[in-house]
Amino acid sequence: MNQVGGKARSLLALSFVLAILAWALTLVGDTSAVPLGLQAELTAKLAAHDKAMPGRAGPTLKVAILTKKGNAESASTAAHLQAAFASLDAIAGLPHQEQVVAFVDAPSLAALIKTESLAIVYLTQGFDGDVDAIRSVLDGVSVMTCATVPDYVARGGAVIGFDLVSGKSKILVNLPQAKKQSVNLDSNVLTIATVFK
C-alpha cells in the first residue's frame, strides 16, 4: 500500500535538482508584495501628508529611484516604479520628474540629494549591506526615503515602506529616522501606520 510510482520518484528527484539550481540563483531580499503601482500611489498620497514636502520639493518634485548594480531584481523594480510614478498626474499636488539612479555609495547619495534637490528617494532591492550607511549619512538631510523592502524601514534605511498584511497594504514608518530627515507626517497617517520607534 505504500509504494510510490517510479515516475513519481523520478519527478521528485528532478524537482530537488531544480530546487538546488534555483537556490544558486537566489537573490537575497525580502520584497514587499504590495504591487509597485500601488506603492507609487501610496507614496504620492503620503507625500501630500508630509508637511515639509512643499518646502523640500520646490516647483517640481523630483523622485530618484535607486538601483543596485548587478541586481536584476533591483533594475526591474526601478523600471516598474519609474513607469508607475510617471503615470501619476501629480505628487503632493506638484508636477514631478522621476529618474533611475545607480547607487554608488552612501556619501555620494547624500551629495546627490542636495545637488539635485531630490524630494523622494526610493530604495529598491539589494541594499541589505548599505542600509546602515544610508541611515547614518542621511541624518540631517531633508528627504523622504522609501523602500520596497520592509526590513529597510525597520532598520532606518528608509523612512517609509509598505508591507502586505492579510492581503492589504500596510504603511510602515520609521519615526526616529523621519525626524532626522525632516519628514513631518500628519498624526492621522501615523495612527494607521505601523510605526517603528
Partner 1 sequence: MKRRALFAALAAIGGSLTRPAIAQEDPDLNALLDEPVVTTASSTAETGTTAPATSSTITAEDLRRYGIHTLGEAVSFLALGVNVQHTLDGDELGARGVEIAGDTGNHFLLLIDGHKVNDPYMSSDIFGRFSGIPLEIVDHIEVVLGPGSVLYGSNAMLGVINVVTKRGRDFEGAHVGAEADVATSIRPWVGFGKRFRLFGVPSEVSVEAEYFHADGPDFYFPSQDAGLLPSGQVLKWGGAVARDSSNADAGALLARLTSGHFDVTLRAQANDSPVWDTPADFDNPETHGVDRTLSAGIKHEAQLSPVVHIYTRVYAAHVDHDTVFTATNLDTCPLPSNQTCRVDSRSQSQWAGVEVQPSFDWLRDGRFVTMLGIDATARGVLGKADEYDDATGRPLTSSADVVNHNDLVVGAYGQQTWSPTKWLGLNGGARLDYDERFAPVVSPRLAANVQPWKGGSLKGIFSEAFRAPTFFESYVSNAFLPAPQNLQPEKTRSIEGSIEQQFAAQRLLFGIFSTTMTNIIELYDFDPLSAAQYAEQHSTLPPLYQERNLESIDSTGLNASFQGSLASRKLSYGATVTAAYARLSTTGTTGAIPLSVAPRAFGNFHVSYVLPGDLPTLSLAANWMSSRYIENYTTYAGLPSAPPVIELRATAIGAVPIVPGLSYRVSANYVSSSETPFLVGPALDRNPSLEPVDTFRVTIGLTYEFAK
> Which residues are near partner 1 by CB under 8 A?
1-12, 14-16, 18-19, 22-23, 25-30, 33-38, 41-42, 45-46, 48-49, 72-73, 75-76, 79-80, 82-84, 87, 128, 151, 164-171, 186, 188-189, 191-192
Q: How far is the CB of 13 from partner 1 (least distance, A)?
A: 10
β-bridge partners, 61: 96
User: Would you state the cell numbers that stand for residue 34, as one nine-digit string?
Assistant: 504590495
The kind and range of the H/E element at 112 are helix 106-116
CB of residue 171 to partner 1, shortest distance in Å: 7
Supply the minimum distance, in Å, between the C-beta of residue 50 and partner 1: 12
The residue among 59 and 167 lying less far from partner 1, judged by its C-beta, is 167
Return the number of the residue (113 or 120) whose C-beta is nearest partner 1.
120
In which residue are the cell numbers 537556490 written? 23
Residue 174: strand, helix, or coil: strand
Distance, CA of 155 to CA of 146 (rounded, Å) = 12
Q: What is the DSSP string of 35-77?
A: -HHHHHHHHHHHHHTBTTHHHHHTTSEEEEEEE-TT-HHHHHH
- Least separation in angstroms between residue 115's CB and partner 1 is 27
Nearer CB in complex with partner 1: 45/179:
45
Which residue's entry shows cell 528627504?
A: 143
Strand partners, 195: 173
Of 100 and 113, the one with the shorter C-beta distance to partner 1 is 100
Helix (H) or strand (E) holding 123: strand 120-123
Rounded CA-CA distance 29/67 in Å is 14
Q: How far is the CB of 196 from partner 1 (least distance, A)?
A: 12
14 or 139, CB closer to partner 1? 14
* Shortest separation between residue 162's beta carbon and partner 1, angstroms: 9
Q: Which is nearer to partner 1, 20 or 140 (CB)?
A: 20
